[in-house]
Structure 1
Amino acid sequence: MPILDHMAHRRAALHKEAQHWLLRLTSGAATAQDARAFEHWCGQSAAHVEAFAETRRLWENLGPATQAWLASERTRSAVEAQRAAGRPRMSRRAFLGAAVAASAALVVVHPPLQLWPSLSDMAADYRTATGEQREVDLGQGIVVQMNTQTTMNLRKSNGQVTGIDLLSGEIQIKATAPDTRPMSVFAGGGRIDVSTMGKCNVRCDDAGVQVTGLDGTTTLRYQGQTAVLKTAQRAEFGNGSVGQVMPADLEVTMAWRRRVLIFDGQSLADVVREINRYRPGKIILANDDLAARKVQARFSLNQLADVAALIQDAYGAKVTSLPGGIVILS
């Protein structure tokens, strides 16, 4: 094989491997063993690192292609309608074009490392980016504070807001006027009713829905089960059940409003998982012993760019920085 052909073949092979790694690391099921294997893969040569960086940039550039994908979806629907009507089948070129559109669809619906908003995020009434916080005054005496990576839709009737669909993320909702009628938040298949002049914090993530009463009365309704929260009480629901009502540490719950994260005895794995909500890219723990370490710490959100160095100083972790804001701690 000629040298140039060999180099091109090798480059293509590296990019295919890089795509494999990007998919695995962003699947949500990556393990510490995966992280160590990825670190080993990147350490083989500068070409490996560059291939991963180029792959990440390619995926990132697909973000603005959303509209093009939507147009291709409309074309696909038209083609399917033609086929159903007995018209000629799609040509090979059109088929290949549809395959490219399908690939774009995958990264639009499930963007790697949350490099850009997903299709559902972009369609939401309100959303915040990584690290962004926002206040939304809905009128009618209802004010919502949105934390990082949060998306929500509004339910309306006759021009009036009747409820909030929290699709993902975290909000604090407050009824600020004495004549405000109770407001409902719908999340994770359940409903949270906030009393007049009440206030609560609602977080919806893969673990379920966590609700903390901050003032007044908050009522949770989920699959025929009900729980009532008073001030400084919390409960969770999901997977078919409502958890026990427990005391809540309001300083910890309210910390994000002060742009602070407080950890009191959580594992480093949980700490990193939380930090990843606020920080672009991703921190990956590749050491099980390190992941199990208990953490007592308070971080300003302005410190998160340096958090890997802080963990390195505190626990002696080895830090490997990779393109795309990926950091491996081992």
Structure 2
Amino acid sequence: MRHLAPNLASSGEPDAAEWVARLHNRPNDLSLRRDFDSWLKSDPANKPAFDSAADAWSRIGALSDEPEIRSARAALKADLAADARRRHARPQMRWAAGIAAMVMAGGFGTALWLAATSADHSAPAVAPAQMAEAVYQTGVGERKSITLADGSVATLSTDTVLRVTEWGARRGLTLDRGEAFFQVAKNPQRPFVVTAQGRTVTALGTAFNVRIDPGAWSVSLLEGKIRVADPAAHNSVDLLPGSRLEQHAGATWAVAAADVAALTSWREGSLVFDNQPLSQIVGELNRYSDRKIRIASPRVAATPMSGRFKTGDVGGFVDALSAYGAAKVRTGEGGEIVLVAP
């Protein structure tokens, strides 16, 4: 019997999908049931939203190569592109990703709905007149926006340290660790320069993302034009919108077209993946949470998935994996979440 994948064009109520996943996985948890009853009573719209999500859940089960699954992937990409256009028109708007699909490719292929709502509830901090060595940082799972003295905005991702090192004829900042997105106020007379891993990213007025990982670093460009340079190697390259430069230790620079909106979706509190192994998805989720996930099965680690996932919600993520038989969940030392083969 064929099952239909959920239609991503319907936004629905994100919380409803998360309740379906958790109740499905923990049907005998009385505390969870009490919390769910309270949620139902908190808003008259919650009951029909839950019924709709539960109905879709019951019909999920299509193999990953079915037309509906491919259609769901395409819809997710279109939804993400629409989000990016709305952000460009209204930078401060709050959005809800709605009920997104996670498509698991493999022997058991399923489509899964996960909640992914996020918004910054506090206004961006406004920096005073810049002074050398002004330092901004975030903790694990934290996100912060800083409006610099020239009107440029730096948005810091999880576990990030950014320093203002020069603020005169040149607007200079250094990313010591983590990831940051920059929306640069145009000023041709004052170049905006971000230094990371000894390389510089120079812009006059643009929007770009810089990230440092163990043994690697990358730059992604959303709009405008930037020049990335390595003074020590006397090497430089100009990036155009929709491109990403990445370099791993000991390797040369690699520049390629990229889904930059997906790469920077962390600004809205979500992470977007397209047919990437579970090991990579878990690695990204771990960046945003003190409670880590470890995969103990090579088969589970290699399972490709697509979807939009809420940053920091490791509990909901592993509940969903377990509910659909993608992995079994164990508790390791210090509360570590361990995923093993089902």
Both structures adopt the same fold (TM-score exceeding 0.5): yes
Gaps of 5+ in 2: 1-132
The one of 127, 131, 142 aligned to 2:137 = 127
Whether 1:171 and 2:180 are equivalent positions in the alignment is yes
**CA distance, structure 1, for counterparts of residue 332 and residue 251 of structure 2:** 41
Which of structures 1 and 2 has the larger relative contact order (alpha carbons within 8 angstroms, sep 6+)? Answer: 2
Identify the residue that residue 213 of structure 1 maps to in structure 2. 221
Cα contact 2:194–2:200 (8 A) shared by 1: yes
Query: Which whole-Å deviations, capped at 9, do the CAs of 1:23-81 have from their partners, x for residues lacking one?
Result: xxxxxxxxxxxxxxxxxxxxxxxxxxxxxxxxxxxxxxxxxxxxxxxxxxxxxxxxxxx
Given residue 201 of structure 1, which amino acid in structure 2 is its aligned partner? N
Q: In the TM superposition, what are the counterparts of 1:55-94 in structure 2 within 5 Å? A: none
Which whole-Å CA distance do the structure 1 matches of 2:311 and 2:200 have between them? 30
- Report how far residue 303 of structure 1 moved: 3.6
Displacement of 1:180 in angstroms is 6.6
By how many angstroms is 1:244 displaced? 2.9
Structure 1 residue corresponding to 2:152, chosen from 142, 157, 162? 142
Report if aligned partners of 1:280, 1:325 keep a CA contact under 8 Å in 2: no
Aligned residue in 1 for 2:120 = none
Aligned partner letter, 1:183: F
Alignment partners' CA distance in 2, 1:226 and 1:289? 40
* Residue in structure 2 matching 1:186, options 181, 184, 195: 195
1:267 aligns with 2:272: no
**In 2, Cα distance between equivalents of 1:207 and 1:227:** 21
The structural deviation recorded for 1:240 is 4.6
State the TM-score, normalized to the length of structure 2. Answer: 0.56
Structure-1 residue corresponding to 2:210: 202
CA displacement at 1:161 relative to structure 2? 7.1
Query: Residue deviations 1:75-108, cap 9 Å, x none?
Result: xxxxxxxxxxxxxxxxxxxxxxxxxxxxxxxxxx
- The amino acid of 2:329's aligned partner reads V
Structure 2 counterparts to residues 1-330 of structure 1, below 5 A:
125-156=135-166, 162-178=171-187, 181-194=190-203, 196-222=204-230, 223-301=233-311, 303-322=313-332, 324-330=334-340
In the aligned structure 1, how far is the partner of 2:213 from the partner of 2:276?
A: 18
Identity %: 28
Shift of 1:215: 1.1
**In structure 1, how many angstroms separate the alpha carbons of the residues matched to 2:234 and 2:243?**
21
- Taking structure 1 as the reference length, what is the TM-score of the superposition? 0.58
State the SS of the aligned residue for 1:181: coil
RMSD: 2.2
- Judging changes above 3 Å, is the alpha-carbon distance between structure 1 residues 183 and 314 closer, same or farther for their aligned structure 2 residues? farther
* Residues 238, 296 of structure 1: alpha-carbon distance in 2 compared, 3 angstrom cutoff: closer
Take 2:323 and 2:165, find their aligned partners in 1: how far apart are those partners?
Answer: 48
How much does 1:313 deviate? 2.5
Per-residue deviation, residues 226-245 of structure 1 (Å, max 9, x unmatched): 11111111111343554232
Quick check: 1:128–1:148 contact (8 Å CA) kept in 2?
yes
- Does the CA-based 8 Å contact 2:142-2:158 persist in structure 1? yes
Asked whether the 8 Å contact 1:155–1:161 carries over to 2, the reply is no
Shift of 1:322: 4.0
Matched letter for residue 136 of structure 1: I
Q: Tell me, in whole angstroms, the C-alpha distance in 2 between the residues paired with 1:216 and 1:171.
A: 17
- Post-superposition CA distance 1:202-250 (Å, at most 9, x none): 1111141111111111111122221111111111134355423211212
Relative distance call for 1:200 and 1:273 in structure 2 (3 A) is same
Once the two structures are TM-superposed, the CA of residue 148 in structure 1 deviates from its matched residue by: 0.9
Mapped to 2, the partners of 1:226 and 1:179 lie a distance apart of: 20
CA 1:206–1:315: 2 relative to 1, 3 Å: farther
Report the Cα offset of residue 316 of structure 1. Answer: 3.3
CA contact (8 A) 2:171 2:191 kept: no
Look at both structures and tell me which one has the larger radius of gyration over its CA atoms. 1
1:254-313 C-alpha deviation (Å, 9 max, x unpaired):
311111111111111111100000112211110011111111121122643321112223
CA contact (8 A) 1:188 1:238 kept: no
Tell me how far 1:153 sits from its aligned partner: 1.7
- Deviation of the 1:177 alpha carbon: 3.9
Shift of 1:178: 4.4
